[in-house]
Amino acid sequence: MILCVLRKLKSRKTIINVVMLLLLVTTMHFSSTRHASADQPKKEMHALWAHPPAVGTTPEAIRKFVDQCKRANIDTIVILVKGAQGEIYWQSKRFPQAIAKGYEGFDFLGTLVKEAHAQGIRIDAWLCDFIEGPNGAAYREHPEWAQLNPDGTTTASEKLGQTRPYDYVWMCPARRPGYVDQWLIPMFEEVATNYQVDSVHHDYVRYPGDVAPDSYCFCDYCLAHIPQHAMLSYKTRPEERYRVKFAQPRIEANWWSDPTMLPGDWDKMDRREKADFILNGRTVPGGPPDMRYFFYEYRQHQIKRYVEELASHIRRLDRKVEISAAVFKNPILSSRFIGQHWNEWTPWIDIYMPMTYRSHFAGSFESYLDHLSETTARQIEWVNHERPIYAGIATTYLYREELTPIDDIRERINEMKNLPADDSKRRAEKARAIGESYALMKSHLAEVAPDAEKELGALIQAVTTNEGRGATPATLDSLAARMSKLRGDLPPGYFQPEKLTRAIEAARKAHPEGVAIFAAGNLAIEKLWPTLETAFKR
Ligand SMILES: [Zn+2]
């Protein structure tokens, strides 16, 4: 095309001029691209997850919170507007029955948006997607939308650890019409339409893999659609089954000769039998038990389909609203365990905030720092630099060594309260455990808060002395109350600032576009706001 233009030009001088001009434009373009990427490092972005109680419920409290964020150079407040029990924190016209108690008569979100924008801070509205409460409005009104396990019960029948009840009901991401199109997407739309939020934020955008990775969803809809998704039988001539010709010596190598893999009596099977076939069946008789591959594929597909649908609704609005997501640290493992293959979502997610929290790493603090750098670098590779990654760091979990003794002592106190007074052997065991846990924190506490240590030391002494014989209901209660006060209002320095600073530095080694901190309420309890102000100084 350039040649055509040149041929038409009459004088040689003009040709030289045009060539010079082309060269100039190319050089300018080249240098401006280089300028943006290499010469001038991009500003590191800072996000902070915040729960409404950490922000406050009066305009003054909200302004004070925003001021604090400004001092810490927070660019984006990721504010919870739909919690894990299904409660919402905006003045919803469509879902007034879901508004959280205490937020009915006050425009919390509107006030926060106004105050944040006045300070140049963006608001990202954070919704917990598929997790709901057993008493939440969605499950109350539509129990048929809940995910079911092979026994036909919801996630509320699961246990956390050995005994703790799991107080959540997860909703089915696949069913249509259902929770996704009748409840969740309309909620996102209402927030993005009625409030000047800058972005909306996915959380719990997955299956409930932390309690039961292989048990959901086997609701009636999914039992019908998992085989349909993989087309494990035909709709035409559904009753016919064909004999596979085992032409290849390796059993699974005969897979392609017949896709009617659903048992002929599928329709007569009950929920448990169907789930058992989906999880443990064989695609080729005599081959490996590989049917569950299609279960995982289906779940990934359902989550991805929802992410895509939400984006199409949000991007149809008459103003630009971005979409961000809190995701598990490794999208490849997550795709198998929770259907969260998030590196495949780059067309529909503008910013990723992987929760690369220490709670997802089993080793020491030092090993976490190395693994945080390594994992963040991999996350950037996984999304192929297509979208920004904000490294998600949770302050509380950094302090495993400092928190474990406090948590352990509180648990032992509770156990001791439930022991019969004459069970001296087990009371002595608990008293010894309390003493040992306290020994782990005593010197550090004495360093940062000598008075608190003296007070606490005396209460520990009263409970543990004489092999636990001093542990009366009164001494146990006083110790429990003091421990609870300590946990809720940690002395400055008990959580060493260096740990947070070093974690942020470790994430920075991978050059993520931003850092996201979890969460505002903890920063206050843990006295870490000043540390964040220093770490995020520009
Ligand atoms: Zn389902």
Q: Cβ atoms within 10 A of the Cβ of 283, count?
A: 18
CB 81, CB 109: distance < 8 Å: yes
> What separation in Å is there between the alpha carbon of 146 and the centre of ligand 1?
7
- Ligand 1 center to 295 CA (angstroms): 11
Say if CB 356 and CB 223 are below 8 A apart.
Answer: no
Are 482 and 347 spatial neighbours (Cβ–Cβ below 8 Å)?
Answer: no
Contact indicator for 399, 359 with CB cutoff of 8 Å: no
Q: In the prediction, which pLDDT does 39 show?
A: 58
- Report the distance separating Cα 157 and Cα 469, nearest Å: 39
Cα 341 to Cα 299, 303, 336, 347, 360, distances in angstroms: 10, 8, 8, 13, 17
- CA 399 to CA 445: how far, in whole Å? 14
How far apart are alpha carbons 488 and 481 in whole angstroms?
Answer: 11
45 pairs with which residues across the strands?
A: 514
Structural contact between residues 171 and 295, judged by C-beta atoms closer than 8 angstroms: no
pLDDT at 12 (0 to 100): 53
Residues 6+ apart with CB under 8 A from 266: 227, 233, 274, 277
Predicted pLDDT of residue 8: 44
- Say if CB 81 and CB 98 are below 8 A apart: no
Q: How far is the CA of 92 from the centre of ligand 1 (A)?
A: 27
DSSP one-letter code for 329: S
| Distance between CA atoms of residues 478 and 326, nearest Å | 40
pLDDT at 256: 87
Q: Tell me the CA–centroid distance for residue 361 and ligand 1, in Å.
A: 31
Q: Residue 200 C-alpha to ligand 1 middle, in angstroms?
A: 25
CA of residue 134 to ligand 1 center, whole Å:
17
**What angle do the packed helices 220-230 and 271-280 form, to 10 degrees?**
30
pLDDT per 10-residue tile (average), the chain, 538 residues: 43 51 47 48 94 97 98 98 98 98 96 98 99 98 98 96 91 98 98 98 95 95 97 89 84 86 93 98 92 98 98 97 98 98 98 98 97 98 98 98 97 94 94 97 97 97 93 95 96 97 98 98 97 97
How remote is the CA of residue 266 from the centroid of ligand 1, in Å? 18
Q: What is the pLDDT of residue 153?
A: 98
Residues 6+ apart with CB under 8 A from 510: 373, 374, 376, 377, 379, 380, 391
pLDDT at residue 36, as a whole number:
45
CA distance 309 to 178: 14
Cα 132 to ligand 1 centroid, rounded to whole Å: 15
Cα 225 to averaged position of ligand 1 atoms, centre (Å): 9
Task: Give pTM, 2 decimals.
Answer: 0.91
Query: Rounded to the nearest whole angstrom, what is the distance from the C-alpha of residue 178 to the centroid of ligand 1?
Result: 10
Q: What is the CA radius of gyration of the chain?
A: 29
* Gap from CA of 238 to ligand 1 centroid (Å): 23
Which tokens hold the place of 38? Answer: 């290499």
Compute, in angstroms, the gap from residue 148 CA to the centroid of ligand 1. Answer: 7
- Reference 191, options 90, 84, 66; nearest CA is 90
What is the whole-number distance in angstroms between the Cα of residue 201 and the centre of ligand 1?
23
Distance from Cα 204 to the centre of ligand 1, integer Å:
16
Which pLDDT value is given to residue 54?
98
Say if CB 294 and CB 232 are below 8 A apart: yes
Distance set, CA 173 to CA 169, 305, 471 (Å): 12, 9, 51
